[in-house]
Every structure is written in structure tokens, then in C-alpha cells.
Structure 1
Amino acid sequence: MSRPVEQGNAVEFRTARRLDVLIPTRNRAAELAVTLSGLAAQSGPADFGVVVSDQSDGEPGWSVPAVATMVRVLRHRGHPVLLTRRLPRRGLAEHRAFLLGQSLARYVLCVDDDVWLEPGAVDRMMTAITELGCGFVGNAVHGLSYLTDRRPEVHGHYAEWDGPPVPERIRPGTPAWERARIHPAANLLHITERLRLAPDEWRAYKVSWIGGCVLYDRAKLVDAGAFDFWPEVGDRHQGEDVAAQLAVLERYGGAGIVPSGAYHLETPTTVTDRDVEAWEILLNNPVSFG
């Protein structure tokens, strides 16, 4: 029988590492185990830490042996892991703000609890953000159940950066907003196949926002306001990641990276109360959003 896993010490965890991975979770023990397994199999950077913040209705995900085992594997491989609970729930943005506050790392990778990362994905994103110098880079998630569902009509929204990304003011109703159409289903995977990239080759492309797996330059995210807008959007919202990324894009620019090594587990959402789009509230409030 598996022994209870230690949660870790928050004070000891907060050191100036190069990278921390931040994972919010709720009622998804099986998916969380898969997400952690992807991180445990990464090759470099060797010094990343992991923070898991659980808002499950019952016992936290790490009470399940499969999750506890992957926590132990990460620690065994030299990756500090902090396990926390954040209750009562105050919405997605507040949860992400809390997670960010647990880390002092130079870069933070926000990964949802239903995303598996292939080996090398984190290292590729770290290489990209270092070379590009922008506010964030991301791996849009592939839905492999859509692998045979080709949608060439949306591929035209893919456009690569010729040089480092520059700041962009992106709003609904503009052509730039339509870039998000390449991310659902397996569209980005089909685009990547068409590019015929060489091994270890990657490209940066223009985005409006990316869901599921985004690597931020911490200082630039904080300067853009991060998720501190959470009191303004209530607790029944979605689109908190969109709001944060629009702010970072406007100040520092950002990019998607292909190939993406992120795969969506395609399980139902555990956050069903989503009456409000956080980005809509902030865009309509010039005091809160530049």
C-alpha cells in the first residue's frame, strides 16, 4: 500500500530557480497523474520545480497512489514539488494568481491538469523564449481524436514571425483575433506536418492567445498585471488566460511554437460555472486593462 506523500514546504520551495511549472487541478486525479508523468520524462532544464494547487471537492489528487508516485518520481529526478490546496474556490484567475505567488522562478510554465507534454517540449519552449526575448511562448494542445478531421480553411491564419515577436494590441473583430482558429482540434498538428521541419527545428508563429500550456517570462507577466485582476471578474468566469496574454502581448509580444509537444487529454471540464469571459470585462474597463 502506498504511503501518504509529503506536500513539501512552501518557504523552502521558493528559490530563484530558472523555471517552475504551475498546475491548477480539481477532481482530476487520473489526468493529473498523466500530466505529471509527462513532466517527469522531460529532458532539461534540470532545475525546474513543480507546484500543484488542488481545489478538489474531496481528497486532493495526490491522495491517489498514481499521482503520489509521479510526485515521488519527479522528486527522485531532482525536481522539487510543492503540493498545495486553495480553498474555498474563488475562480480560475485567483487560482492562477495564487500559484504564481508560490514561485520565485525566472520563468513560469502554466500547464493545465489535462495536458501531456512529450519529452523535449519544455526544453524547446525554454530555448524559444530565451532566443526570442518576448513575454511568453506557448504550445497549443493537440486533440488527437481529430487527427483525420482536416480543416484547410483555417490554415491560412498561420503566420510565422520573421525575427523576434513585437508588441501587438489584439482585440476582437480584427484579423489578428482570428489566429486562435488554428488551435482547436488537430489543426496545428496538420499545419506542422505541412512544414516538414527538420529534427530539432522549431518555428515561432503569431498568436492571439494560447490555452493549456504557456511559458511566461515571470517579470514581464507581473509587469503586465498577471492575474491580479481576479477580484474584478468574480468566481464564475473563463478566459483568464486570454486576459493575461492580451496584456503581455501588448507590452512585450508573444508567440506560439511549432512543433507543439502538448497533447490534450480531451476529458470533460471540471469548471462548469463559466458565466463570464474575464477578458471581456477587462477590455471594457480601461483602468484595469491597458
Structure 2
Amino acid sequence: MSDVLDVLIPTCNRASALAVTLCALAAQTLRHFRIIISDQSDGPGIVAAPEVQAVTRFLRVQDIDVVALRHLPRRGMAEQRAFLLAQVTAPFCLFLDDDVIVEPSLLARMLDTIRRRRCGFVGSALHGLSYLGERRPAHEAITFWDGEVLPETIRPGTQAWERHHLHSAANLYHVQRRLELTVRDARCYRVAWVGGCVLFDTGKLRDCGGFDFWPDLPADHAGEDVLAQLRVMARFGGCGLIPSGAYHMELPTTLPVRSVDAPQLLWP
């Protein structure tokens, strides 16, 4: 059976975090997927790190293909994501950050959701579990998609843009616990965007241009993933999945300089 999903991981100088992320992928109930890593690390690259090599060998004996590519020079995250998207041959692609732990059923649940909803993307927002003891009721607003996931045009500064607060800290985790939601009664909800773990319909992402806007951005930018989602959501719709099943390792960013925010510059 051919792979139905390509998991795309951009990485830079995070060998241990990447190894943990790969271990979580090895435990997935979904088996027919391929992992593509684009490594922009210093020196020989982290794909050569012993912990990454060990997990890569483990994945391959589980019949999960791993393609590890060196991609230099660094020209910004939008170009890095465009490079990864160019490698995709599967009908669906998951952009997954290199510091994310996913529950064993998550890939299967996301794939089932995007097939049923027929939208452009489904995102699983990242829980920051260090914030479990911190409640932010003002940032726990959620609006569900009870029917078809429809296209939406979301712009910075609008009321819909404020949905992004739900994905900060452990807000979404508190919501799913309060509503007593389980994977058996998972729901889709309206988003502004989702960071770190987003599954796209490959054809729909490419129809919207993918990350072809990368030459219009300086290398030191942020929000390229947001801009791509906004373009897909405006044509095909997009949603978040709750319970999420994705957890952030909360490591320091590898992109400390972010001079330009892509949606602010390029989104009409």
C-alpha cells in the first residue's frame, strides 16, 4: 500500500528534540506514511547525530520510510517549507515542528478528519503543559464547526484574529478537560491559524501557491505558516481539532530574529 501522508519536519540544531519527535511518530497507529526531514543545522547536520540515527533506524525497521535531506543555505522558513512541499508525493502532508510530541492516534485522527470534512487543512494546536496551573478564562473562547467547514477570510486586527489566544499556554487543554472531550467525541472548531502541527490536503495547498511567496520575504521573518493557512482557509476552509493530542516541548526558539511578520506584509 502506498503512503497516504508525508510528514514534513524542518529542523535546525535540535538533535535531541528531533529524536523525541521521531519516537512519537514511530508509535503512531497509522502506518502508511513517510517522514521527510529538511536539515539546516550547523556542521555536518543533526541527521548524523547518534540519537537521530538510532531512531531513524528504528523507524525504518517498522517499515516507515525516512528521507533526511540537507538543505542549505538558510533563506528563511518560508523557503524551507517550500523545499519540503516540493518533495511531497502523497495526497496529504503534515507540517510538524521538530519539538512536538504527538499522541499515538493523532495522525490517524487528523487524516480521518480532513477526509470527512474535505477542507484545506486540519490543525492540532500545541499544548504547553508547563502552564497547566495557569488558567486564562478570557482566552478560552471556542466556536465549533457543527456542520461543513466553510471557507473564511481572516485578517489581522479583526475579531476572528483573536481566536489565536486559544492556542497559547495550556488554554486549549483546559477547554478540552472542562468539556470532557475524548478522542471518541472529537470536534472541529474555528481557528485563526494553528502552529506546529498542521495537516494539509496537498493539492489544495499547492492550488493556493504553497509557500511560493518566500522570495518576497527577508530571511529573518515569521508567520510564513500562518500566511499559507490563511490563503488555504480563504479558498477551502480550515479547522482545529479538539482534543488536540500535540504537545510542545517549549524549547527556546531557533529563530530569535523575526524582523518581518509574513501576514502583516503580504496578506491583503
Q: What band does the TM-score fall into relative to the shorter chain?
A: over 0.9
Aligned to 1:259: 243
2:63 equivalent to 1:78 = yes
Aligned to 1:138: 123
2:75 equivalent to 1:114 = no
The residue type paired with residue 14 of structure 2 is R
The residue type paired with residue 126 of structure 1 is L
Q: Does structure 1 retain, via aligned residues, the 8 Å contact 2:78–2:213? A: yes
2:10 equivalent to 1:24 = yes
Q: Indicate the SS of the match to 2:67.
A: strand
Aligned to 1:170: 154
Aligned to 1:179: 163
In 2, the alpha carbon distance for the partners of 1:215 and 1:66 equals 26
In 2, the alpha carbon distance for the partners of 1:280 and 1:198 equals 36
**What pairs up with 1:42-81 in 2 under 5 angstroms?**
42-44=28-30, 46-81=31-66
The residue type paired with residue 256 of structure 1 is G
Q: Does structure 2 retain, via aligned residues, the 8 Å contact 1:29–1:67? A: yes
The residue type paired with residue 130 of structure 1 is R
2:9 equivalent to 1:36 = no
Q: Does structure 1 retain, via aligned residues, the 8 Å contact 2:156–2:264? A: no
Q: Shift in Å at residue 162 of structure 1?
A: 1.3
Aligned residues: 268
In 1, the alpha carbon distance for the partners of 2:75 and 2:49 equals 25
Q: Shift in Å at residue 17 of structure 1?
A: 2.7
Q: Does structure 2 retain, via aligned residues, the 8 Å contact 1:55–1:85? A: yes
2:261 equivalent to 1:277 = yes
The residue type paired with residue 107 of structure 1 is F
Q: Does structure 1 retain, via aligned residues, the 8 Å contact 2:126–2:246? A: yes
2:176 equivalent to 1:192 = yes
In 2, the alpha carbon distance for the partners of 1:24 and 1:166 equals 29
In 2, the alpha carbon distance for the partners of 1:222 and 1:47 equals 22
Q: Shift in Å at residue 59 of structure 1?
A: 2.4
Aligned to 1:288: none
Q: Indicate the SS of the match to 2:253.
A: coil
Q: Does structure 1 retain, via aligned residues, the 8 Å contact 2:100–2:247? A: yes
Structural RMSD (CA): 1.2
Aligned to 1:161: 145
Consecutive unaligned residues in structure 2, runs of 5 or more? none
**What pairs up with 1:209-224 in 2 under 5 angstroms?**
209-224=193-208
Q: Does structure 2 retain, via aligned residues, the 8 Å contact 1:141–1:260? A: yes
Structure 1 length-normalised TM: 0.90
Q: Does structure 2 retain, via aligned residues, the 8 Å contact 1:129–1:136? A: yes
Q: Shift in Å at residue 198 of structure 1?
A: 4.2
In 2, the alpha carbon distance for the partners of 1:163 and 1:175 equals 22
In 1, the alpha carbon distance for the partners of 2:198 and 2:182 equals 23
In 1, the alpha carbon distance for the partners of 2:182 and 2:191 equals 23
User: In the TM superposition, what whole-angstrom CA distance separates every residue of 1:211-252 from its partner, at most 9, and x where no partner exists?
Assistant: 000000000001111101000012110000000000000000
In 1, the alpha carbon distance for the partners of 2:129 and 2:93 equals 26
Residue 205 of structure 1: which of 172, 189, 193 is its match? 189
Q: Does structure 2 retain, via aligned residues, the 8 Å contact 1:40–1:77? A: yes
Consecutive unaligned residues in structure 1, runs of 5 or more? 1-14, 285-290
In 1, the alpha carbon distance for the partners of 2:82 and 2:183 equals 36
In 2, the alpha carbon distance for the partners of 1:164 and 1:114 equals 32
User: In the TM superposition, what whole-angstrom CA distance separates every residue of 1:56-84 from its partner, at most 9, and x where no partner exists?
Assistant: 11221121111111111111111111000
